[in-house]
Each structure stands twice: as structure tokens, then as C-alpha cells.
Amino acid sequence: MGYKTEWFRGIFPALVTPFTRDDRLDEAAFRALIRHVLPHVDGVVPCGTTGEFSYMTLEERKRLVEICLDEVNGRVPVLAGTGAPSTRDTIALTQHARDAGATGALVVAPYFLKPSFNEVYDHYRALDALGFPIVLYNIPQCAGTHFRWWTAEGMALDFENVVGIKDSSGDLPFMEALFEKVKGRIGIFVGHDEVVQAALAAGADGAILASANLIPDIWQAVYQATLAGDLATAQEWQQKVQKLVRIVVQCSSTQAVKEGLRMMGLTMSDSRHPIMPGGGFRREDYEELRMQLEALGKIPARTVTYDLGTQQVQTAVAATPHTPDVVSGWTLRVGEGFAGPPFQELAHIDLLMGRKDGPVGRAIERSLAGWGEARGLQVIRQRPLTLLVPTVTVRTARQRRLLYEHAAEGINLAIQANIDSGFLPEAILDDLALIVNVFVHPAASIAKRIVFNNYKAGIQAIRKAIESRPTLDELFNEKVAARHPFRYAP
Amino acid sequence: MRKPELSLHGVFPALVTPFERKTEALDEDALRRLIRHVLPYVDGVVTSGTTGEFPYLSRAEQRRMVEIAREEVGDRLVIAGCGASGTAQAIALAADAAEAGADAILVVTPFFLHPSDKGIYQHYVDITTHVDIPLILYNIPQVVDAYLPRTVVQDLADLPNVVAMKDSSGNLTYTMEVLEYAGDRIDLLIGHDEVVVPALAGGVTGMILASAQVYPEIWQQVLRLMDEGRIAEARALQRQVQKLSRIFCQYGGGVAVKAALNMMGVQVGVPRSPLKAVGGALIHETRAEIQLELEKLGKIAAEDEPFAYPDGPLASRFGDLELSEADIRAHGLRLGSGSAGEGLNRVQLDLIGGRKDSPLGDAYALQLTYPLHGREALTTILEPGLTVQPSTLLLPTLPQKNLRQANMIYGPTQSALGRAIVDALEAGTIPAQAASDEVLIVLATVHPKAIDRHALYQSVYQAARAAIAQAFGA
């Protein structure tokens, strides 16, 4: 029978793996990441799913475990991801982890060729024979097969060295079955960031999480509150980070975490291909992730100078590496914002920003004096002067309401949010004009979603206009893979 | 075991159920007109199928439709849909259908509460026990959310009144498996419009199709050609209706079929709520696509309007932007033009570029305050979120009359132009400084009937590279 160990409890981040520009392991950045999380965690996992283990050579994986052990230096347990499709590779990696001094091995169910259960059983039996603590790992989203409770129970009871299971399925009925069958006999960890608090409250011993790279302190607070029986506090934190972790879980976790760490000021590469920026982790997810990290106070402030020619304004903003130190060229700045779901309520904003005495201000003046009323233009704000331009013909009272009340409300909130966060400093509001082209789908129905999506798209469009995003590098990197949704026939 | 004599070797449209526009009441006259419209080309009709919105029909309405069909079709077959979630309702519908003169009933897998295989088997046994009428099993996992299990079909095939199965899954591995295990005792009918030819080649007997009320003559011809072993010709016909068939199967079902029939002048009214005639499962863009496909099939007359690609001196083509030849010269604005492609795919792009603080900056801003005139300017992107630099407006020179036409601009034209600009920037044709200091406006003339998005993308890309090269003096 397996056993329960003292070290397998608490919060373990599934560390991302930084790579250098020439695509080797970035040892320095990896060590810095470990130092970033270490004060808040009970253990670390190198070479997990979030660590892109399946994109690394066996040599790289071994090396990464060694670096991790060296940097951690015994302060917390190191649970090395050693899973591979074949038993042969899994044994080699697990042996290495054992001999290098890791605390245990996290072993994903063998994937891709979909071995039957008795083959999976023998796979773990072979690992058990190494005499090294094994944590079973269920992640059907990637592995394609979902452990059944009797699988987990069978292996937990039959094998001497199984000390735990990590369940990333998010399937709480499955987790409850694990509690029923093996609680107290082995450690049970949750691996799905969206249900951490629920799983801990229900009896999980800890959590291995992608988002614990970003917010290890918050997960530690959730864990401590749960241990102390303070469910209200634990719930409050979970709800506060719910959107952040949903983005991480559902949108290419590895790239999402890496982008988030960069926003927070760490040195971090993109994921290895075929994961890429603007892919599963979409551009709108980037903006949303940024807003969430900003709301949690995770993005450090920096002073940026806006050079309007006539005046120079300094403003402190939560800046990312993309935010320039000096923003000049206020004649005409262009920004685009895009937010969903759902399809029919999605917001798409084309925004122009510039000085009132430049092309933007002049265009507003002329259009209002000319075709403004006939074409449904509306000034929705004076500071900054903001012109709403509908891009779809309004045919019904409902469309009118959705556009002039709800979309306009969303855009107004977005402008206010950028004023409050310093991106639109008070000192420039009298000199600034915005033209906002707004799309509301003719079949849209959910009013609040129109508000929210236009709010998000509005924040993005304004920031992208100020920061000149996407950058030329982003355009060059993604131009080949770009996939315009309307480019294809139904 | 003796099976009833019933020839299912043929084409059977799964009729839509016409409803009146305001009241959503069954429109009997429209139903008769619809049947008369298809009758010359079909071997029978199917009432209250999935395309006929059967879950929204009362028992009395379903019976009435069988009576009407019986009166209209003469000696051809009337197949009555008798689908229900519970067995008792299905039996009642079957009894009605038999009394009203149906030749066979079509009974879908019991849905919603997901009965076990035993329950599904018993459902059909009970129906055949209570009502003596030939029965066609009906597998449509897209709406039932479960397959009619092959092992159940195999056993049901032994029941005397079970004569056939309609398979709408489109999953040919399943179809072949059913043929393997039950094909000796029952006929298979293909119910998925996108795979008719492969299914016939695999051994199915006939077809019950939504699209068989829009182009029944094509399916009749396909059936004959396959009988004669003329597979290449059958394939070509299938290919001809592939996109419309896909739209009917995947992008709107009966709602899309109703839209098509209404366009063709066979008035069948609206779907019942909660379905919407357009703007729900059938989106506006798809409806516009249906129209174009029907034009191609000659089902509706194409609207041909004369148009011209702009000519005359390049500098004279930007009057819409309020930029005269003198302005262009005075401010040193860049000009370039390119055209590429043949026929419907021919594209002409006229490009103007210049500093943001020149009159072009004003023209740029002004365009984005002037919406809803049919030729709205679009910001050029590679995909949503990837706005190109230098900032570029794409301005169609011809009015965009419908969403399908507009889609050719949003999609292929916009993304190809975007790619050409970024490629030119990376190649140095457009200097990096221009990315931040300048803007471009591109007047695009795209054939109003362009439909091949792939070819259009290629044309736009070529034309754009040529226009950029000229404008930036490469």
C-alpha cells in the first residue's frame, strides 16, 4: 500500500520553463523565478505540464531538475515532473530525479497512444519498483484519458511508493470519490486553478498550480485560511482571482503564465512552438490578464512622459515592458479593441486619439456640423472630447438602446478607468479628443454583456493607442500565422 | 420473417413546416404549394421531421400534415415523422399517421432523458406492437446527443415492421457498421446532405434530405448516376451543392432551408419561436451566402449591376477624400496603384500615403466619422488585435449591398492588405520611420460578385505589394 507523507501538502507552483533567445534553458531566469515564488510556497514542481515538459529533451528535463534542486537547496520539497509516453523514458527520468536528490516524482498518465488500463497499471508498477515517492497525475485535458476512481484507488493501494495523486481535471465528483476511497492513505492534491478553494475545503491536502507562479502569496492565503477554518476568507480570495485563473487554465496556461510574469517584471521567454503569443492565449486574453494582475496590484508602477509638443506630462502607470518611457506623436494615434464572448455581443472598437487641435479634433468638429445627426454620431463625453460613431445601421429600438446606452456606458467606463489608472492623466484631458467607432451586432441581445465587452475593448483600444501596440516585432512574429476569422467561407 | 413491400430507393425531402409570419400558425396552403414544388422530382415526402421542427408541432398538426401530404402526393410515399421523447406519445403519433394514410413512419431515437439501450429497444418494440405500419429508425446524434447504438439497430432489424434506418449523423464509419450488421434486413437511407455520394457508394438505398426540397432534381440525378455507376458525374453534382448542403446541415438547419425557399419564391414563412428567421442559428452573413449559392445554381436570378474599376490619372482618384491633385502635389503625398486577378477575382487598389500632420491625417480621421453610407472605411488588421503599421484605412469604392459582399472586404481583402503592408515593412520597402509618422488610405475595388475568398486574398496581396512598391519608390 502507498503511504501519506508530511512533505506533500500545501501550495506548489508548477514552474514555467524560461528559454533563452537561442532556445536553450534560461538558467538565470529560472533561478529568478524560483526566488520569486519561494517565500510563499510549500514546494515546487519543475517539468510539469505548465513547464512544457513535453517540448523538452530528456537531457533538458534532467538539467532543469538539477538547477531547481540547486536553487531550492533543501528549503522546500522538489517534486519533479518525470512523465513521458513510454515507460522506458519515464523510468530514466524518474531514476535521474531520485539520484539527483528530488523529493518525489510527479508522473502523468502515459499519453497519446492511449494504452489500456492494465498497460497503465504496469507502467506505474515499473516506477513503483524504483523505490522513490510517486505522485499520480490525472490531467485528461492534455492526456486524453481520465483516471477512474478505481484506477486511482487500485494504484494507491497496490503500490508501496505512491504517496499522492494530483487531479487537474476540475471534476469535483471524481475528487470526492478519491476522498471516499483513499483519503488519509495518500495525499490528494488539486491541480485545477478554478476549483482550488472548493477542493481544499472538501479535504484536498494541497494544490499544484500554474497560476501559483503568478500569485503564490494568494494561494498560500487561501490554504492557510482553509486550514484555520476561515472559509469566508478563502472563498473571497478564490473569487477575487477567479477570472485571472480562468484565463490561465483555459487559454494556453504556459504562455499565459509567462506573459503574466513578464508584466510583473520578471525576465521570461515565450513558450516553445507550436504554442505562440496570440494563439490559445489570445490578444484579448493578454489585455484581460493585465487588467486582473493590475487590479491585484501585481504590476509595478513606472513614470511615463507624455510629450504633447505644447506640454510635457508625467504620469505613473502600471507599466509593462511594452509601455514606452516617452509617448510622443499626439497628432493621430490608432488603437483597436476586441472583446467577447459571445459572438453576437462581441465588441470591436476602432479608436483614434489625438490633440483637439489636430486631425481628430477637426474631424469631430466637421462631422458634428455636417452629417453628425444624420449618421447617428454622438458626443458621449467632454473630457476627453469623445465622439461615438456607430458602424452598423440602427434599425430597432433595441439596437438603439444597446448602442447609445450600453455600448456608450462601457466606453465611458473604460475612459474613466484609464483616467483613474493614470493612462489618461488629468492634465491632458482638455487637449485630447477621441473618435470611437463602435460595432454592435444587429442580433445582439444581452445588454450587460455589451457594457462589459465595450468596457474591456475600450480599455484595450486606449492603451494600445498610447503604447503603439501591436509592436512591429509582434507584427513580424505573427504575420505568417495570423488567422483572420472572416477570411474563410462557411 | 416477411417485411412489408416498400421501395425506399429514391429521394425524399424532409419538408419544412410552413408557418404564418405573425401568428406562427400552420400554413396549410403553403404546405400544399411546397409539396407541388418538389413533387415532379421526388419519390415521396417526409412530414414532421427534424427539418419540419417536429418538437414544436402539436399532435393534431402532425396528423393534419399527413392528411394534406396524402391528398397531394398521389401514389408516391408519405413518410410521417413520429418522433417523441416518451414512448406513449410516439405510439399516439404513429397511430394517427397510420389512420391518416401514411405509408411509413420515421421514429427518431428517444431524446432528452437519455434512456439506456434496453429502453431504446423497448421504445421501438412498443411502437411496432401497437401500430401496424412500416417503421424507419432515425439516427441523428447532432440533436439527440446520442447515437442509436448499432447493436440495438442490429436487433431491431429483426422486427417485421422495421424496414429501414435513416442515418443523419454523417459519420460514415457508423453508417458502414450498420450496413455490415443490419444491411441484410433493412434499407439504409442517408440523411446527411454533405455525404450523399459517399453514402450511396457505400451501399445506402436512398435519401431523406432537407436540401431535397431546394434542389431535388440534383439529388434525383445523383441517384440515377450512381445506379449507372457514373461516379465521376455524381461527384461533380455533389460538389456543386456542397456548400449549400453544409449550410443546411451545420449553419441553421430548417431555418436555413426556409430562408432558401423564401428567396426562391416558395413562401414557407417563418420558423416557430424560439428559433428566429435570421439572427439566431442562421446568422445574417450565412443568409447572404445562401443567396449567392442559389444564384450560382440558377435557382434565383442574379442581380447584375454595371460597375467599373477606377481609371484616369492616379492623382485624380482621391476626390472622395477631398484631396485634389494640387493638394497631393503640394504635400508630397505618396501614390501607388496595383491590380491583379482575373474575372470575379480581379482587384484594383489605389493607395495614398503621407504624414499624419498632412491633409491625409485629416482625411483619415474624417473617414472614421462618416459611417453607414455603404462604403465605410475599415482599419487594416492581420486579424483582430493585430492592427498594422503604418495605420491604414481600407475604403471600398463600390457600395457594400449585403453582408456577404461586405465579408469579402472584412475578411480576405483586409487581411491580405495587412499582410502585404507588414511584409513590405519587414522587407524595408516601407521605412520603419513611416510606421509611426505616416498613415495610408487604400481604395479597394473588388468585384461585387467575388466569392472565392482564397483567390481574392491572393489578388489583393499582389495588387497591394505593387501599389506599395510604387508609392514608396521601390
Q: Which of B386, B401, B458, B461 to mutate to test the interface with A (most CBs of A within 10 A)?
A: B386
Q: What whole-number distance in Å separates Cα of residue A348 and Cα of residue A460?
A: 10
The single residue listed with the C-alpha cell 483572420 is: A484
Active-site residue (options: B121, B124, B166, B258) = B166
Q: Does B448 sit behind a cis peptide bond, omega within 30 degrees of 0 on the bond before it?
A: no
Q: Which residues contact A291 (CB under 8 A, 6 or more apart)?
A: A456, A459
3-class SS of residue B342: coil
Instruction: Return the pLDDT at B292.
Output: 85
A286 as an active site residue: the answer is no
In 3D space, the residue among A301, A83, A143, A266 whose CA is nearest the CA of residue A257 turns out to be: A266
Instruction: Return the pLDDT at B277.
Output: 93
The single residue listed with the C-alpha cell 498550480 is: A209
Q: What is the mean pLDDT of chain A?
A: 95
- Inter-chain touch A475–B389, beta carbons under 8 Å: yes
- Provide Rg for chain B, Cα atoms: 28
Q: What is the DSSP string of B291-326?
A: HHHHHHTTSS-----------S-GGGTTGGGT--HH
Q: Which residues contact A65 (CB under 8 A, 6 or more apart)?
A: A46, A47, A78, A80, A96, A97, A100, A102
User: Between the CA of residue B401 and those of B285, B288, B371, B375, what are the distances in Å?
Assistant: 12, 10, 14, 9
Active-site residue (options: B138, B215, B457, B461) = B138
Q: What whole-number distance in Å separates Cα of residue B232 and Cα of residue B209?
A: 21
By C-alpha distance, the chain A residue nearest B252 is A490
- Inter-chain touch B365–A332, beta carbons under 8 Å: yes
Q: What is the mean pLDDT of chain B?
A: 95
Percentage with pLDDT > 70 across chain B: 100
Model pLDDT for residues B426-440, shown as the tens digit of each residue: 999 999 999 999 999
Residue A203 grid coordinates: 479535504
Residues in A closer than 8 angstroms to B419, CB to CB, are 479, 482
Beta strands A301-307; A312-318: pairing state: antiparallel
- Inter-chain touch A489–B285, beta carbons under 8 Å: no
Residue A58 grid coordinates: 530528456
- Inter-chain touch B362–A363, beta carbons under 8 Å: yes
- Inter-chain touch A478–B411, beta carbons under 8 Å: no
CB B47 within 8 A of CB B265: no
Tally: H helices and E strands in chain A:
17, 15
Residue type at B172 in one-letter notation: L
Instruction: Return the pLDDT at A253.
Output: 87
**Residues A415-418: contacts with CB under 8 Å, at least 24 apart:** A415/A381, A415/A384, A415/A386, A415/A458, A415/A462, A417/A455, A417/A459, A418/A459, A418/A462, A418/A463
Nearest CB to B243: which of A354, A485, A489?
A489
- ipTM exceeding 0.85? yes
Nearest CB to A350: which of B276, B280, B379?
B379
Q: Mean pLDDT check: name the lowest of A144-153, A175-184, B102-111, B313-322.
A: A144-153
Mean pLDDT of A257-261: 97
Instruction: Return the pLDDT at B1.
Output: 65
3-class SS of residue A91: helix
Q: What whole-number distance in Å separates Cα of residue B424 and Cα of residue B471?
A: 11
The single residue listed with the C-alpha cell 410552413 is: B18
Active-site residue (options: A62, A124, A166, A404) = A166
- Inter-chain touch B386–A352, beta carbons under 8 Å: no
Strand order in the sheet with A312-318: A312-318, A301-307, A326-327
Model pLDDT for residues B91-120, shown as the tens digit of each residue: 999 999 999 999 999 999 999 999 999 999
Q: What whole-number distance in Å separates Cα of residue B87 and Cα of residue B113?
A: 12
Q: What whole-number distance in Å separates Cα of residue B370 and Cα of residue A104?
A: 65
In 3D space, the residue among A411, A410, A418 whose CA is nearest the CA of residue A451 turns out to be: A410
Residue B449 has pLDDT above 90, yes or no: no
Residues in A closer than 8 angstroms to B365, CB to CB, are 332, 352, 354, 359-360, 362-363, 435
pTM higher than 0.80: yes
Interface of A with B in 415-444 (CB under 8 A): 435, 437, 442-443
Instruction: Return the pLDDT at A356.
Output: 96
By C-alpha distance, the chain B residue nearest A347 is B384
Mean pLDDT of B212-220: 98
Neighbours of A60 (CB within 10 A): 17
Interface of A with B in 349-378 (CB under 8 A): 350, 352, 354, 358-360, 362-364, 366-367, 371-372, 375-377
Instruction: Return the pLDDT at B406.
Output: 86
Residue B76 grid coordinates: 408516391
Model pLDDT for residues A168-189, shown as the tens digit of each residue: 999 999 999 999 999 999 999 9
| Confidence class for position B229, pLDDT limits 50, 70, 90 | very high
Residues in B closer than 8 angstroms to A352, CB to CB, are 364-365, 368
Would you report the helix, strand and coil content of chain B in percent, each value rounded to 5? 45, 15, 35
* A474 interfaces chain B, CB cutoff of 8 Å: yes
- Domains, chain B, in order of start with CATH, read 11-296 (3.20.20.70), 314-471 (3.30.230.60)
The single residue listed with the C-alpha cell 510606421 is: B435
Percentage with pLDDT > 90 across chain A: 87
Residues in B closer than 8 angstroms to A360, CB to CB, are 365
User: Between the CA of residue B252 and those of A24, B35, B285, B289, what are the distances in Å?
Assistant: 50, 22, 12, 12
Instruction: Return the pLDDT at B407.
Output: 85
| Confidence class for position A419, pLDDT limits 50, 70, 90 | very high
- Inter-chain touch A482–B418, beta carbons under 8 Å: yes
Q: What whole-number distance in Å separates Cα of residue B406 and Cα of residue A81?
A: 51
Higher pLDDT, B374 or B362: B362
Helix H segments across B316-387?
325-330, 359-367
Q: What is the DSSP letter of B109?
A: P
Model pLDDT for residues A327-351, shown as the tens digit of each residue: 999 999 999 999 988 888 999 999 9
Q: What is the DSSP string of A9-71?
A: -EEEEB----B-TTSSB-HHHHHHHHHHHGGG-S-BBTTSTTTTGGGS-HHHHHHHHHHHHHH
Q: What whole-number distance in Å separates Cα of residue B94 and Cα of residue B102?
A: 9
Dihedral pair phi/psi, residue A389, rounded to 5°: -120, 115
The single residue listed with the C-alpha cell 514546494 is: A43
In 3D space, the residue among A166, A167, A254, A171 whose CA is nearest the CA of residue A210 turns out to be: A254
Task: State the sign of the Cα–Cα–Cα–Cα dihedral B392, B398, B402, B405.
Answer: negative
| Confidence class for position A323, pLDDT limits 50, 70, 90 | very high
Dihedral pair phi/psi, residue B207, rounded to 5°: -145, 140
CB B338 within 8 A of CB B465: yes
Mean pLDDT of B193-197: 98
Task: State the sign of the Cα–Cα–Cα–Cα dihedral B115, B121, B123, B126.
Answer: negative
Q: What whole-number distance in Å separates Cα of residue A97 and Cα of residue A82?
A: 8
Q: Which residues contact A307 (CB under 8 A, 6 or more apart)?
A: A326, A327, A328, A330
Model pLDDT for residues A425-471, shown as the tens digit of each residue: 999 999 999 999 999 988 899 999 999 999 999 999 999 999 999 99
Chains A and B form CB pairs within 8 A to the count of 164
- Measure in Å the smallest separation between the Cα of B283 and chain A Cα atoms: 8
Mean pLDDT of A237-266: 94
A166 as an active site residue: the answer is yes
Mean pLDDT of A354-379: 96
- Inter-chain touch A482–B379, beta carbons under 8 Å: no
- Inter-chain touch B365–A348, beta carbons under 8 Å: no
